[in-house]
């Protein structure tokens, strides 16, 4: 049996259980499960814990073997050096600009397309799903290497513009598919009702649909932002000195000497912190997007 999103509430997933369940659930707290999950959380976070420790140690004990776990004075010198002696600020701006521009453009062209597709018969939606899957599954180099060639020929190689547009295109099938699923939940009768009142199709889209779709659009926006933010492969091929993003920078520092390795670690931590924030704050939307994909599939 397939489940529709209306039978699920993301709130239920995040906060835990439907009201039905609560009345009949066990009273004793699940201690063993809690302990095991706590251990799992520590294991999952262990790479970041270790990296945080390493980059806040003075250089002479940072990578010592056997590892030094106490008895030193923590320092933020690596962060200071990173900020002052490399172009990290530029890389960070590049990463953010690419992510933000991708998101905005993807939503601007994706929302109308998704809406249009949601009002089309369902075999089209199945076809769309198939196409979205196929494009998502493609080896990215098959698309990115020609982009490299074309961008060099056109003179837009190594610009944040080129990278942003490339990411819009690469993530477009998924974006449209996700938005389309959200749109499909809004009954078509609403369209008719709004248009009877004299709205054009596009006006109705703007004034009625999009406000209704708030959470859905936000979810899709967060996903596109994340995909662009996480991107390494495309950025590796399409950027050089002007539009380098933070993941590409980190990868070029893996063979450096000690103090610069600490700086690379500091750069990683500076990326991780906003990610932590996003993971907590936007949790609800990430869950909605992921689960929606699963159950609509």
Packed helices 88-118 and 77-85: angle between N→C axes, nearest 10 degrees: 80
Backbone φ/ψ region at 72: left (φ over 0), alpha (ψ -120 to 50), beta? beta
Closer to other proteins by CB, 11 or 197: give it.
Answer: 11
Closer to other proteins by CB, 19 or 197: give it.
Answer: 19
| Burial state string for 177-192 with b = 16 or more CB within 10 A and e = fewer than 16 | bbbbbbbbebeeeebe
Burial of residue 70, with CB atoms counted within 10 A of its CB: 0-12 exposed, 13-18 middle, 19 or more buried: exposed
Q: Tally the C-alpha atoms within 13 A of residue 186's C-alpha that lie toward its C-beta.
A: 25
Cβ 219 to other proteins shortest distance, Å: 10
Whether the link from the prior residue into 191 is cis, omega within 30° of 0, is no
Closer to other proteins by CB, 99 or 197: give it.
Answer: 99
Closer to other proteins by CB, 105 or 197: give it.
Answer: 105
In whole angstroms, give the CA distance from residue 297 to residue 184: 13
Closer to other proteins by CB, 51 or 186: give it.
Answer: 51
Cβ 74 to other proteins shortest distance, Å: 15
Cβ 185 to other proteins shortest distance, Å: 15
Cβ 7 to other proteins shortest distance, Å: 6
């Amino acid at each position: 049996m397939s489940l529709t999103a209306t039978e699920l509430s993301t709130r239920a997933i995040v906060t835990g259980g439907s009201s039905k369940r609560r009345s009949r659930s066990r009273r004793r707290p699940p201690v063993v499960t809690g302990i095991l999950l706590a251990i799992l959380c520590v294991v999952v976070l262990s790479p970041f814990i270790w990296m945080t420790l390493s980059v806040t140690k003075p250089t002479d004990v940072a990578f010592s073997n056997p590892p030094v776990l106490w008895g030193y004075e923590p320092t933020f010198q690596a962060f200071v050096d990173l900020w002052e002696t490399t172009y990290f600020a530029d890389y960070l701006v590049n990463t953010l600009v690419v992510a933000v521009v991708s998101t905005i453009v993807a939503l601007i062209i994706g929302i109308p397309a998704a809406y249009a597709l949601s009002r089309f018969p369902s075999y089209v939606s199945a076809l769309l799903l198939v196409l979205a899957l196929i494009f998502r599954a493609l080896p990215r180099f098959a698309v990115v290497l020609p982009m490299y060639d074309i961008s060099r020929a056109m003179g837009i190689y190594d610009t944040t513009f080129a990278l942003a547009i490339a990411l819009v295109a690469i993530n477009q099938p998924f974006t449209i598919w996700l938005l389309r699923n959200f749109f499909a939940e809004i009954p078509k009768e609403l369209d008719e009702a709004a248009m009877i009142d004299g709205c054009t199709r596009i006006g109705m889209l703007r004034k009625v649909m999009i406000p209704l779709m708030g959470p859905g659009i936000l979810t899709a926006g967060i996903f596109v932002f994340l995909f662009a933010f996480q991107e390494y492969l495309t950025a590796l091929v399409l950027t050089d000195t002007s539009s380098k993003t933070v993941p590409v920078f980190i990868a070029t520092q893996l063979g450096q000497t000690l103090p610069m390795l600490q700086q690379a670690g500091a750069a990683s931590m500076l990326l991780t912190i906003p990610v932590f924030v996003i993971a907590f704050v936007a949790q609800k939307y990430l869950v909605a997007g992921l689960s929606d994909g699963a159950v609509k599939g």
